[in-house]
């Protein structure tokens, strides 16, 4: 377990209920479901990480420098959405199968709190970049790249830490 309890006590029955949903039970009772879904979760991480790096390195000013910034942001968007979608589609059944363990796991809560910040920041910042279309990387696009990568690193590191501390 992750040590101290982080979430309100009153949420525990809900997490117990989640763990005994049909999907949670099916994943938990199968030998193969969890590792296979987790492997796809990690493939999604690769897709998401690639989609993030592609755009964030352009925003930093080091990668794809012959392509206009706004075009890289636009083309990267669908891969970002696909990566996030795959993470949710695989993450939810993993979570359901061990909801009570997650409830007691501080890394799980770090991940769930940092995730909306990462999503909100990345989508808002990239919409701004696509609209303003700066012609070259400057301190603003670099700041966006650094904050984006920092937030997503926090989500991914906390995700990995669930396993270490669970």
Judged by CB under 6 A, does residue 84 bind ligand HEM? yes
CA angle 117, 119, 122 (to 5 degrees): 100
Q: C-beta of 139: minimal distance to ligand HEM in Å?
A: 27
What distance separates the 2 farthest-apart alpha carbons in the chain? 55
Q: C-beta of 120: minimal distance to ligand HEM in Å?
A: 12
Site string for ligand HEM, 102-141 (x = CB under 6 A): x------------x--------------------------
Choose, by CB under 6 A, the member of 18, 56, 91, 122 that binds ligand HEM: 91
Torsion sign (Cα): 32, 99, 115, 109: negative
Q: C-beta of 127: minimal distance to ligand HEM in Å?
A: 19
Choose, by CB under 6 A, the member of 57, 92, 100, 130 that binds ligand HEM: 92
Judged by CB under 6 A, does residue 151 bind ligand HEM? no
Site string for ligand HEM, 30-49 (x = CB under 6 A): --------x--xx--x--x-
Q: C-beta of 135: minimal distance to ligand HEM in Å?
A: 31
């Amino acid at each position: 377990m992750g040590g101290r309890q982080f979430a309100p006590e009153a949420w525990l029955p809900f997490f117990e209920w989640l763990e005994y949903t049909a999907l949670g039970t099916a994943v938990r009772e199968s030998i193969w479901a969890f590792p296979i879904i987790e492997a796809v979760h990690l493939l999604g991480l690769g897709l998401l990480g690639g989609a993030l790096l592609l755009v964030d390195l352009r925003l930093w000013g080091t990668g794809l420098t012959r392509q206009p910034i706004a075009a890289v942001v636009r083309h990267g968007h669908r891969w970002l959405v696909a990566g996030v979608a795959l993470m949710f589609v695989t993450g939810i059944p993993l979570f359901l199968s061990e909801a009570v363990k997650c409830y007691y796991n501080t890394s799980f809560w770090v991940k769930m709190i940092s995730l909306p910040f990462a999503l909100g920041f990345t989508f808002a910042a990239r919409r701004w970049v696509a609209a303003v279309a700066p012609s070259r990387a400057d301190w603003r696009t670099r700041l966006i790249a650094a904050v984006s990568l920092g937030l997503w690193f926090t989500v991914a590191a906390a995700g990995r830490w669930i396993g270490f501390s669970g």
